[in-house]
Structures are given as C-alpha cells and as structure tokens.
C-alpha cells in the first residue's frame, strides 16, 4: 500500500497565519492610541499674600484720594444729585430732601457700600468701575425703592449696595410725598 498523506499538514500554516493576524491587530491598536504626553514639570509654588481688610485695622490711616468708596466726581463735597422724576410709575415724585441730609446718610453708610465692593474684589482683584445708586425716599423718610447701575458690572456688588440703601432713613420729603436721589461711586483696586 501506498503511503497517503495525513490530513492536517496545513495546520502549521493556519496557526502561523493566525499569529501574524493577531500581531498585525496588536500593532494597529498600539498605533491608534495617542502618544503619552511628556511629563509636566512640577508646578512652581506661587507665593500668595492674604488680602487684608483695612476696615478691620483700627490704626490704619487710609489715603482719602485712593478710597474705593469715594464718589465719581470730587469737589469740596462729594456729589449727590437730587432729581425730580417726571416719569410715571414707581419713581414718580414731586418732593425734595435736602442735599445735606442725603449727604449725611450716604457718608455714614459709605463704609458699608465700600465693603460690598471689597468682598467681591477678593474674588476678582481687577474689579473696577462706576456705580450709580438711585433711591426713592417715601413720605416717612424711609427708602422705598433702590436701583443700581454702572460700569462695575458685578451683580453681587449691585445687589449688596441696593440692599444696604433700602434700609436708609432720611428726613421726610418736603413739597411732595416722595423724593428721588442719585449718588455715584467710583471703585478701583487700591495701589499697594
């Protein structure tokens, strides 16, 4: 009898093909992964200084020219504008409150207004701009409405100042049941 070849002689070719195919797939998978980023140098330690609230230091003398709570225009006395509003609605008033009385109340609350700004300056150390506070004084002398606008563009400062102004009390208006006043403020970070 003649020798007949045994089946399975091609098995070594099949196994070799599978190994080559597996190697090609592995190589392809490695090439698809992004190269690892080079190791970043360790971050440099940044020395920070804690912002000090000048109002918490009783012996600190503030330079009046750089006071963040001063009004936008300064003359002999800070600018306070008392306006009569002809518009209808909530801001329509015919009364007046003496400029000196308004100035006295604003001056006695200037520290609170400045603190609204100083708190936000800790979050944004380049925050600066104008703030115009407009408020309505009711027949009993209490602030009945307050609005804030300006180039400061910080809603938290605006809200804080508006909230403070709504608690102010003035002498009752003369010549009408209410009066409207506007007070400008200029805020900028203090130079160290």
112-151 pLDDT, tens per residue?
A: 999 999 999 999 989 999 999 999 999 999 999 999 999 9
Task: Write down the residue that tokens 């709504």 correspond to.
Answer: 166
Residue 27 belongs to a domain: no
Residue 60 belongs to a domain: no
* Strands of 24-166, DSSP E: 81-83, 129-137, 143-149
Q: Is the pLDDT of residue 186 over 50?
A: yes
Whole-number Cα distances in Å, 113 to 54, 87, 119, 131: 14, 28, 10, 10
**pLDDT over 90 percentage in the chain:** 46
Residue 176 belongs to a domain: yes
Residue 5 belongs to a domain: no
- Average of pLDDT values for 25-36? 68
Q: Is the pLDDT of residue 57 over 60?
A: no
Q: Is the pLDDT of residue 109 over 70?
A: yes
Which of 68-77, 110-119, 128-137, 173-182 has the least mean pLDDT?
68-77
Going by pLDDT thresholds of 50, 70 and 90, the confidence category of residue 68 is very low
C-alpha span between 161 and 148 (Å, rounded): 8
Q: Could you list the residue range(s) of the whole structural domain that residue 176 is in? A: 78-187
CATH of the domain at 112: 3.30.2420
Q: Is the pLDDT of residue 30 over 80?
A: no
Does the pTM exceed 0.85?
A: no
C-alpha span between 93 and 176 (Å, rounded): 7
Residue 86 belongs to a domain: yes
pLDDT value for 89: 67
- Choose among 110, 108, 99, 105: nearest CA to 77: 99
Residue 44 belongs to a domain: no
pLDDT value for 37: 55
Strand partners, 180: 83, 136
Residue 134 belongs to a domain: yes
- Average of pLDDT values for 90-102? 89
* Domain count across the chain: 1
pLDDT value for 18: 85
C-alpha span between 95 and 28 (Å, rounded): 84
Residue 37 belongs to a domain: no
């Amino acid at each position: 009898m003649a020798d007949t070849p045994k089946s399975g002689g091609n098995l070594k070719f099949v196994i070799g093909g599978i190994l080559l195919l597996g190697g090609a797939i592995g190589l392809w998978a490695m090439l698809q992964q992004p190269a690892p980023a080079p190791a970043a140098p360790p971050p440099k330690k940044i020395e920070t200084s804690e912002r000090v609230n000048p109002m918490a230091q009783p012996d600190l003398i503030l330079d009046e020219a750089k006071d963040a709570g001063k009004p936008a225009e300064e003359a002999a006395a800070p600018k306070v504008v008392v306006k009569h509003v002809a518009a209808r609605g909530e801001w329509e008033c015919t009364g007046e409150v003496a400029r000196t009385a308004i100035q006295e109340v604003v001056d006695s609350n200037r520290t609170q207004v400045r603190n609204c700004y100083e708190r936000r300056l800790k979050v944004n150390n380049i925050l600066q701009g104008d703030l115009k506070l407009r408020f309505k004084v009711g027949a009993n002398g209490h602030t009945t409405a307050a609005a804030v606008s300006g180039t400061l563009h910080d809603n938290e400062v605006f809200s804080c100042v508006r909230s403070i102004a709504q608690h102010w009390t003035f002498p009752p208006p003369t010549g009408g049941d209410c009066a409207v006043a506007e007070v400008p403020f200029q805020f900028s970070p203090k130079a160290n």
